[in-house]
Structures are given as C-alpha cells and as structure tokens.
Amino acid sequence: MARPRKLNEALQHKIVTAIRAGNYIETAAAYAGIHKSTLYDWLKRGEREKQRVAKNPRYRIKKDE
C-alpha cells in the first residue's frame, strides 16, 4: 500500500473547492487524487487537533478586563 500524501495548500485547495461545489467527500478525494480513507483520516486528525487546542488555556483568547 502506498504511503499517504502529505496535506499541502494545493491539495487542500482542491479538496475544499470540490466540497464547496457540493460534492461528497469521496468525490473530493478522487478529484484531489487521494483515497477517501486518507481524506477521512485527515479530517479526524484535524478535529482532534481542534479539540486539543480548545482545551489548552494557552490558546484561549483573553477577554479585556
């Protein structure tokens, strides 16, 4: 099995463009030239990272006192 590609700006742009055009995740993955499982893995990883950052007090926006 081939090693998954690294997500870069050009690949991200292709994926986002396809999804914004109303395509399914599977179609967006095919358009970007990656397997759908790779895209699903990237989406899961992004969600986990977003949750990790949200829980870390260093990344919270400080409100004016």
| Within a domain: 65 | no
Q: Are 37 and 4 in contact (CB under 8 A)?
A: no
Would you mind telling me the total number of residues written for the chain in this entry? 65
| pLDDT at residue 26, rounded to an integer | 97
Position 52 scores a pLDDT of 86
pTM of the model: 0.73
Instruction: Determine the residue type at 38.
Output: T
pLDDT digits (tens, 9 = 90+) for 43-59: 999 899 888 888 887 77
Residue 36: what pLDDT?
96
Residue 37's domain comprises 9-59
Tens digit of pLDDT for each residue in 7-19? 899 999 999 999 9
Residue 41 within any structural domain of the chain: yes
- Is 23 within the bounds of a domain? yes
Tokens of 52: 């990790």
Task: Identify residue 22 by its one-letter amino acid code.
Answer: G
Task: State the total domains in the chain.
Answer: 1
